[in-house]
Amino acid sequence: MVNVGILGATGMVGQRFIELLAQHPKFEITALTASQRSAGKKYEDATTWYLDSNMPESVKDIKVVDTDPSQVDDVDIVFSALPTENAAIVEPKFAEKHIVASNASAMRMEDDVPLVIPEVNPEYLDLIELQQKNRGWDGFIVTNPNCSTIALTITLKPIYDQFDIKRVYVSTMQAVSGAGYNGVPSMAIVDNLVPFIGGEEEKMETETQHLLGSLEDGVVTPASFGVSASCHRVSVVDGHTEAVFIETEDKCDMDEIHAAMDQFRGMPQKLDLYSAPEKPIVIRPEDNRPQPRMDRNQDGGMAVTVGRLREDAAFENSFRYVLVGHNTIRGAAGASILNAELINEIM
């Protein structure tokens, strides 16, 4: 078993890490960190549990420590569910000795930090060597993208590979859990929606290009197609829905698109990683799917469900679809864990 720690273990994404790791066959939770206010308490006493599942028995008695490398021994991998500002300061300290698999955005766009979705660009892990050399670290940081970006990019990958992409327009309907437990007041969401999520559109646009770019001589060149995002918060607990409009460079017909998505498999599937969904993309044929409450938990929340895959006759080489991905599983904790499983397998 690999000993793992969770940084920022009491928040919503921290809790998802715990839920997903509690039964993990290769990773064992041995350290949980939080802010100083919680340090010294048992996890059970330090935490208001927000998930629908009960808190796993195995973590209840773990003593929470301050988020500081000196407090965390005997741990190989730390998962980071820290807020961005904290992550920027703390993750580099942990990376001196530890593998840091981070869900935070702080280090994502650093030149020598791999931003990775295992099905999409596992080769970016090659940056690790450069990172360690540059920074003189024994450990390293690997990051996963923003929740909305992950689901989108997984569906773009097989299309990009086969038909090249010219334009992407995406309009999201995002779950409230993405903002953290206290992030969206109920006054803002009952009989309402909020057409703005700070920084989200920029992340979707730049991270998507970055993930579908190419790595050569230690430098990532982003993909050159345009991405335009409009992000909205709706009255859904978990599961981001995205309406996607695509124009490809190459001619494509709907059968080919369907096949490309349906047959898409990545490294996690080839290596049969524990958290890997059987298929990264599950296509539903029904008119009225995907729906977040019905589809977010597909393959334990690790598959992205696509539906309404249809031609866009208004424009050449164009088509549309709707996707649902679980924002705190595939889009956050599960993404970091899959990154760690891949690293654990191949390095």
At its nearest, how many Å lie between a second copy and the CB of residue 237? 5
Phi, psi (degrees; rounded to nearest 5) at 75: -125, 135
Q: Which of 98, 147, 231, 326 is catalytic?
A: 147
Q: Does 226 bind a second copy (CB under 8 A)?
A: yes
Please choose, from the candidates 108, 204, 208, 232, the residue with its C-alpha nearest in 3D space to the C-alpha of residue 159: 208
User: Which CB atom, from 82 or from 229, has the smaller least distance to a second copy?
Assistant: 229
Q: Is 133 exposed, middle or buried (0-12, 13-18, 19+ CB in 10 A)?
A: exposed
At its nearest, how many Å lie between a second copy and the CB of residue 62? 20
Phi, psi (degrees; rounded to nearest 5) at 266: -125, -170
At its nearest, how many Å lie between a second copy and the CB of residue 322? 4
Reply yes or no on whether 210 is catalytic: no
Q: Does 199 bind a second copy (CB under 8 A)?
A: no
User: Which CB atom, from 180 or from 218, has the smaller least distance to a second copy?
Assistant: 180
Site string for a second copy, 233-262 (x = CB under 8 A): -xxxx---x-x-x-----------------
Residues 125-164 within binding reach of a second copy (CB under 8 A): none
User: Which CB atom, from 11 or from 145, has the smaller least distance to a second copy?
Assistant: 11
Q: Does 292 bind a second copy (CB under 8 A)?
A: yes
Distance between CA atoms of residues 172 and 243, nearest Å: 6
Distance between CA atoms of residues 116 and 232, nearest Å: 25
Q: Does 290 bind a second copy (CB under 8 A)?
A: yes
At its nearest, how many Å lie between a second copy and the CB of residue 104? 20
Instruction: Return the amino acid letter for 156.
Output: L
Phi, psi (degrees; rounded to nearest 5) at 323: -125, 155
How far apart, in Å, do the first and last CA atoms of the chain sit?
16
Structure tokens at 231: 């992000």
Q: Does 318 bind a second copy (CB under 8 A)?
A: yes
At its nearest, how many Å lie between a second copy and the CB of residue 257? 16
Please choose, from the candidates 87, 100, 108, 82, the residue with its C-alpha nearest in 3D space to the C-alpha of residue 12: 82
Residue with tokens 């580099």: 92
Distance between CA atoms of residues 266 and 270, nearest Å: 6
At its nearest, how many Å lie between a second copy and the CB of residue 205? 7
User: Which CB atom, from 70 or from 182, has the smaller least distance to a second copy?
Assistant: 182
Please choose, from the candidates 41, 24, 23, the residue with its C-alpha nearest in 3D space to the C-alpha of residue 32: 41
Reply yes or no on whether 258 is catalytic: no
Distance between CA atoms of residues 206 and 204, nearest Å: 6
- Please pick, from the candidates 182, 216, 217, 285, the single residue that binds a second copy as defined by CB under 8 A: 182
Residue with tokens 């080489």: 317
Please choose, from the candidates 140, 122, 118, the residue with its C-alpha nearest in 3D space to the C-alpha of residue 131: 140
Q: Does 274 bind a second copy (CB under 8 A)?
A: no
Q: Which of 98, 210, 240, 326 is catalytic?
A: 240
The answer to whether residues 103 and 335 touch, using CB atoms and an 8 Å cutoff, is: yes
User: Which CB atom, from 7 or from 322, has the smaller least distance to a second copy?
Assistant: 322
- Please pick, from the candidates 186, 217, 255, 272, the single residue that binds a second copy as defined by CB under 8 A: 186
- Please pick, from the candidates 32, 322, 329, 333, the single residue that binds a second copy as defined by CB under 8 A: 322
Q: Does 42 bind a second copy (CB under 8 A)?
A: no
The answer to whether residues 10 and 46 touch, using CB atoms and an 8 Å cutoff, is: yes
At its nearest, how many Å lie between a second copy and the CB of residue 167? 7
User: Which CB atom, from 40 or from 185, has the smaller least distance to a second copy?
Assistant: 185
Instruction: Return the amino acid letter for 289.
Output: R
99 alpha-carbon distance from chain centroid: 17
Residues 51-70 within binding reach of a second copy (CB under 8 A): 52-54
Active site residues: 147, 240
**Binding positions for a second copy, rule: CB under 8 A:** 12, 50, 52-54, 167, 169, 171, 173, 176-177, 181-196, 198, 205, 226-228, 230, 232, 234-237, 241, 243, 245, 287-294, 297-298, 307-308, 312, 314-315, 318, 320, 322
